[in-house]
Amino acid sequence: MSKIVVLGGCGGIGSVAVRALASGDYFDELVIADVRAELAQKAAATIAKSGVRGVAVDALDARSVHATIAGADVVLNCIGPFYKFGPPVLQSAIDARVAYVDVCDDLAPTRRMLEMDAAAQAAGVSALIGMGNSPGLANVFARLCADQLLEQVDSVDIMHIHGGEPEEGPAVIKHRIHAMVNDVPLFIDGRFISVRQLDPSGAAYVLQTEFRDIGTFPVYPYPHPETITLPQHIKGLQRATNLGVVFPLSYFHLTQDMVRVGACSDAPIRVLGQEVVPLEFSVAHILARRPQLLLAAGVSGPAGCLKVVVGGKKAGEAQTLVLSLSSKTAGAGEGTGIPAAVGAILMHRGRIPRRGVFPPEAGVQPFEVLTLASEISKKLGIAGGGSVHVEHIDASGRRTPIPLGM
């Protein structure tokens, strides 16, 4: 009997991962674990499939996490923000000797979890971290180019956009703010530099980018971990950047403005005799304004696009590959939750034999990921959600679509 536990299975990403896992006979038992027990049980009842059940878990309590995941074949961690919940949940998985997959897109916890590699190896545990969209599929695209499409990869520029999801939780907003107030590492000309998204150093890397099916938007430096992991695993890489944005821009700019005016500190202040944490106020304010901003911008549903521009050489000539995964009907939940489910399924199938803690480009086979992601997307009825579009640009600038042959 195979068993998977999805931590945070009622959240925006976790709920999609649960649907993806329930779309086929991938596991005999699927446990939806969430701090909100009633929601977890309701979600399990909604799926109405044997072997699916909902349970309560408190990610702040290591004993609760350990008891929930003990005996599982794989634990899929979708609890954010990962700078708070990533390393301790991974430690619980190592202690329980359970294979681990997550969607961590925060830089600091990625570094901390990579430092747990020796402990995971000693326990015989495989821990695939950052198996979402960016990071996740972005890393897979880069690995595909390095292994199959080019003879040498020199640069990987990752750009992502999403918006219009039915809802966003406080953890999502806090992650976005976290990206705006912390250093962003970029790998430029073979060395690491640090910029800040809202400082002049970051403004120098803002680009106007055309996204397939979405439109043209500015993208800003993001502290996603691909920029620190790709140079370790793709030989000869000289450049790795990560840039992103959320639409509508009015909503994204509101978050930037709250950071600019200093309203995102976690140090309490007194307001009319009451202690108020500016960060908590800002998150609540942003979420309260969200419906009106989406309505004013004419955003009626989710959409998103991941675009990866890979530069390198083949037969001695400069080549560029532009890989896009886009959807007019699916946003961050689907774009992240489906790859996470794919990682968990491949882990259970024994297709990820590596032990220790590692990012996607170091442990998964690109075609296996893309093929299974496409299969699940079709099962979930996501229009275009599983289609990878690749465009080749040769040394003369000529553009040619190329099939992946999946």
- Dump pLDDT digits (tens) for 135-185: 999 999 999 999 999 999 999 999 999 999 988 889 889 989 989 999 999
DSSP letter at 349 equals: T
pLDDT at residue number 274: 93
How confident is residue 406, by pLDDT bands cut at 50, 70 and 90? very low
Residue 374 has pLDDT above 90, yes or no: no
Residue 258 structure tokens: 């709250």
Residue 202 has pLDDT above 60, yes or no: yes
How confident is residue 404, by pLDDT bands cut at 50, 70 and 90? low
Q: Long-range contact list for 258-261, CB < 8 A, 24+ apart?
A: 258/177, 258/282, 258/285, 258/286, 259/177, 259/180, 259/181, 259/198, 260/198
- Mean predicted lDDT score pLDDT of the chain: 93
Domain ranges of the chain: 3-131+332-379, 137-249+299-331+385-402, 250-298
Fold topology of 137-249+299-331+385-402: Dihydrodipicolinate Reductase; domain 2 (3.30.360)
pLDDT digits (tens, 9 = 90+) for 224-277: 999 999 999 999 999 999 999 999 999 999 999 999 999 999 999 999 999 999
Please provide the CATH number assigned to the domain covering 3-131+332-379: 3.40.50.720
End-to-end CA distance of the chain: 31
* Residue 93 DSSP SS3: helix
pLDDT digits (tens, 9 = 90+) for 292-305: 999 999 999 999 99
Residue 353 has pLDDT above 90, yes or no: yes
Strand spans (E) along 10-133: 29-34, 52-56, 74-77, 99-102, 126-128
pLDDT at residue number 142: 96
d(CA 351, CA 22): 20
Which residues face 31 on adjacent strands? 5, 53
Residue 393 has pLDDT above 90, yes or no: no
Task: Report whether 137 contacts 341 (CB < 8 A).
Answer: no
Residue 370 has pLDDT above 70, yes or no: yes
Residue 100 has pLDDT above 60, yes or no: yes
Which residues face 132 on adjacent strands? 136
Backbone angles phi, psi at 240, to 5 degrees: -145, 120
pLDDT digits (tens, 9 = 90+) for 32-83: 999 999 999 999 999 978 999 999 999 999 999 999 999 999 999 999 889 8
Per the model's pLDDT, the better-predicted residue between 206 and 175 turns out to be 206
pLDDT at residue number 387: 61
Mean pLDDT of 370-393: 79
